[in-house]
Amino acid sequence: MRDNSARRVRWFPTAAIAVVLAVLAGGGALNLAYYPQPALVADGVPHRSAQRAKDLRTQALNDLDALTLPSGATLAGWDGPWRYVWPRDASFVAAARCSVGQYAEAARVLDFLDRIKPTSGRWEARYLETGRPVADSREPQLDGSGWVPWATWFCRTGARHWDMVRQSADHITQELGANGLPQPSPDYWERPESEVTLGTVAPLLTGLRAAIRIATELGHTVEAERWQAALTTLSTATEHRFAPDYPRTPAYAESFLEPGLLPACLGGGADAIVTVLGPPFAPERHAVSQAIDNARAVSTQPNGGQDPGEEWRADGVAWTPQTALFALSAAARGDRRTAEQILSWLDHYRTPSGSLPEKVNRDRQPAGEAPLGWTAALVVLAGQALDKPLPIP
């Protein structure tokens, strides 16, 4: 009998690779079928003119005007499940308005948050335009306790909103456990979490730094010292659990490489929120800048935008808030080329009314709600950061 073992050896790798590719292709097709192609839900605000502004930032500010009610309640979007006030989004809207000198408009947004502030310091995920919490299954989201002091400091209204800042910062200190980190909390991914995420930790670091600046400027030395101690604790724990890659959740293992090389961390996955560990939210550090660039690379979709992170569903859809976060980060770090490239991408995918949508789908079409307040605010901030440095707490 003829010996065909050599032929089989040569044939096996090719066959194995073909099988793996077929499985991956089939899995990819099933995954895309599981996540239907999103479409544009709504475009524009009914009571506003449909005339499209030529300039991206002008349109973004017009959309913030349309989404902000006379009470100061800033809606995430005009329709359906977006027609609520998220403390996170509202904080960015206030900061965006202050960045262009719209201080009265920003104060109205912060005044609304001040009226609905929780006595515990922990903000609900979202609120009705009347100020009442939304009665649904979403848990409170701890990141609001960081975003609100940051926006207050950015807008220099610390004296006016001192109680709101104090309650939020005190709540952060109370949340820190024996390991220096807060307990798991939902964040901007809007889902329950079993582990603490960078989406919570990064805003809390920013909020504490901002609150310390406010307390120091106002002469509240006791609070400043208390929050400085909490910041030191949280910063140390963050470096211990998240550095050097700063993934969404702490790595579960390390792989030791050649002598002289840093160990590779396994697990966690990159997250767009790593941008909040750098300018304009925190002083620039080389390791963080590397992590930001890596997160953008691994989260870039075929349509050119970014999704929230590596562990997000693999559906080929880009999300404009996360894409705009990378634009803001690049602009604040002096990477003008990247910032302008991203802003140009966002400009290209505006809706017929000129608004920025929530998503860009696999067919490279605007999708989700338009306008989206968080994206509009981020675009304004990124544009301003290209003109002059934004303040860093």
What's the CATH code of the domain at 290? 1.50.10.10
> In the beta sheet, which residues pair with residue 255?
264
In a domain, 173, yes or no: yes
- Name which of 69, 76, 175, 160 is nearest 110 in CA terms: 160
In a domain, 24, yes or no: no
User: Can you give the pLDDT at residue 53?
Assistant: 78
In a domain, 392, yes or no: no
In a domain, 18, yes or no: no
In a domain, 322, yes or no: yes
Residue 331 vs residues 90, 104, 150, 369: alpha-carbon distances, Å: 22, 26, 19, 26
- Name which of 164, 158, 123, 160 is nearest 144 in CA terms: 123
User: Can you give the pLDDT at residue 35?
Assistant: 79
> Within 10 A of 179 (CB to CB), how many other CB atoms are there?
12
User: Can you give the pLDDT at residue 278?
Assistant: 98
Q: List pLDDT tens digits, range 113-152.
A: 999 999 888 999 999 999 999 998 899 999 999 999 999 9
Calculate the CA 223 to chain-centre distance.
Answer: 28
User: Could you give the number of structural domains in the chain?
Assistant: 1
Calculate the CA 39 to chain-centre distance.
Answer: 22
In a domain, 258, yes or no: yes
User: Can you give the pLDDT at residue 259?
Assistant: 65
Which residues form the domain of 181? 41-387
Give the span between the Cα atoms of 328 and 355, in whole angstroms: 18
Q: For residue 221, with 0-12 CB atoms within 10 Å meaning exposed, 13-18 middle and 19 or more buried, which class applies?
A: exposed
In a domain, 7, yes or no: no
User: Can you give the pLDDT at residue 11?
Assistant: 44
User: Can you give the pLDDT at residue 10?
Assistant: 43
Query: In the numeric block, which tokens belong to residue 181?
Result: 């980190």
Ranges in the chain, pLDDT < 70: 1-33, 49-51, 252-267
Q: List pLDDT tens digits, range 330-359.
A: 999 999 999 999 999 999 999 999 999 999
In a domain, 5, yes or no: no
Give the span between the Cα atoms of 356 and 346, in whole angstroms: 7
